[in-house]
């Protein structure tokens, strides 16, 4: 190839461009950014736009005229806090909060044990915790349907051994069943996040505190919890956020008795194609979750969530 060949010149220019800092960054992050833009930012943008537009109830066409009717429709009852949207939203927050606290209560002692023991104990416990994840989420959710209910495994067993004369309402379908199903679904996320935080803990500080006369409660309150706070906040986010918008578990274990926000949005889209109403409802959920994450990230960083 002759010197000064345009093809060779162009190839050298491309190599120089890709060798720069921004060129290398574009190669490594470009595909991921494109996927995020296509699968996350584009749907979110569409949702935001549609929440301020009307949809024809006859032709289902989007009418490109700005309006606040969708947001007003969320609170169209008197009193406004008795609307289906507000009721479903606060119920979702309540169930997600209880689920998060339950996961934290159950996972923290186990994560502490894993961080202290390690070795074979760690492998066995992690295997048992992750074993249900070898099946589909739908199958795991449906398995709890068989456990709950008036004729479910739990009530049938209690009646069979003579501990009760009839079905116990606590083990019927409803909020308790949903909390149990969500806790089972998201418990590993809390456990692994807490373990990543506890694994980097200097346990010699714990032993020094105990030698100086601190009780176990004092050690946990004054040393373990503050040092593992990033893991606690990170694990809580990983449980709370998906629990708020849960759909499959409430649908199966609620059996029509409970309507969380995800079910309300789905019913409006499928039943009446009210995508404007659904988008406005989703905006409230999205903004509240972003607000919670902003507050959380005032105390932790991305590196902290990974145990760094």
Report the alpha-carbon distance of residue 260 to residue 240 in Å, rounded: 14
The whole-number pLDDT of residue 4 equals: 54
pLDDT, tens only, 8-30: 566 666 666 666 666 666 677 77
63 beta partners: 54
Whole-number average pLDDT of the chain: 83
Spell out the CATH class of 67-305. mainly alpha
Q: Which residue has the tokens 């749907």?
A: 43
Q: What is the DSSP letter of 54?
A: E
Confidence band for 304, pLDDT divided at 50, 70 and 90: low
Q: Does 80 score more than 80 pLDDT?
A: no
Question: 272, 269, 267: which is closest to 88 by C-alpha?
Answer: 267
Domain positions in the chain are 67-305
pLDDT, tens only, 96-115: 999 999 999 999 989 888 88
In the chain, which residue ranges form alpha helices assigned H by DSSP?
Answer: 6-19, 21-36, 42-51, 69-73, 84-117, 119-130, 137-147, 153-160, 175-198, 203-211, 216-219, 225-227, 229-244, 248-254, 261-272, 275-296, 302-305
Question: 144, 234, 160: which is closest to 195 by C-alpha?
Answer: 234
Q: Does 291 score more than 60 pLDDT?
A: yes
The whole-number pLDDT of residue 9 equals: 67
pLDDT, tens only, 229-251: 888 888 898 999 999 989 889 99
* Cα angle: 48, vertex 260, 246; to 5 degrees: 75
> How far is residue 194 from each of residues 106, 226, 300, measured CA to CA in Å?
11, 13, 14
Neighbours of 1 (CB within 10 A): 6
Please tell me the least confidently modeled range out of 13-17, 256-260, 280-284. Answer: 13-17
Q: Does 95 score more than 50 pLDDT?
A: yes
Report the alpha-carbon distance of residue 250 to residue 261 in Å, rounded: 10
Q: What is the pTM of this model?
A: 0.82
The whole-number pLDDT of residue 7 equals: 61
pLDDT, tens only, 126-163: 888 888 778 888 888 888 888 888 888 888 888 888 88
């Amino acid at each position: 190839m002759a010197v000064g060949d345009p093809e060779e010149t162009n190839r050298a220019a491309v190599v120089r461009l890709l060798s720069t800092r921004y060129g290398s960054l574009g190669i490594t992050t470009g595909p991921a950014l494109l996927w995020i833009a296509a699968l996350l930012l584009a749907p979110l943008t569409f949702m935001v736009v549609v929440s301020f537009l009307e949809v024809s109830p006859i032709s289902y066409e989007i009418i490109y005229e700005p309006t606040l009717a969708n947001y007003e429709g969320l609170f169209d009852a008197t009193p406004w806090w008795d609307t289906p949207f507000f009721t479903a939203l606060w119920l979702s927050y309540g169930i997600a909060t209880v689920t998060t606290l339950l996961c934290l209560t159950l996972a923290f002692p186990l994560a502490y044990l894993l961080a202290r023991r390690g070795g074979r104990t760690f492998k066995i416990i992690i295997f048992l915790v992750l074993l249900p994840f070898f099946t589909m989420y739908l199958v795991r959710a449906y398995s709890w349907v068989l456990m709950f209910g008036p004729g479910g495994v739990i009530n049938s067993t209690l009646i069979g051994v003579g501990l009760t004369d009839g079905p116990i309402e606590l083990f019927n379908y409803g909020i308790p069943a949903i909390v149990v199903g969500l806790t089972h679904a998201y418990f590993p996320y809390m456990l692994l996040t807490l373990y990543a935080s506890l694994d980097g803990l200097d346990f010699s500080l714990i032993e020094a505190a105990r030698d100086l006369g601190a009780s176990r409660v004092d050690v946990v309150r004054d040393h373990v919890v503050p040092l593992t706070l990033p893991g606690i906040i990170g694990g809580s986010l990983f449980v709370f956020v998906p629990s708020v918008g849960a759909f499959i578990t409430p649908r199966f274990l609620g059996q029509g008795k409970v309507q969380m926000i995800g079910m309300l949005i789905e019913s409006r889209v499928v039943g009446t194609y009210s995508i404007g109403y659904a988008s406005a409802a989703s905006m409230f959920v999205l903004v509240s979750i972003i607000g919670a994450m902003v507050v959380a990230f005032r105390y932790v960083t991305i590196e902290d969530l990974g145990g760094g």
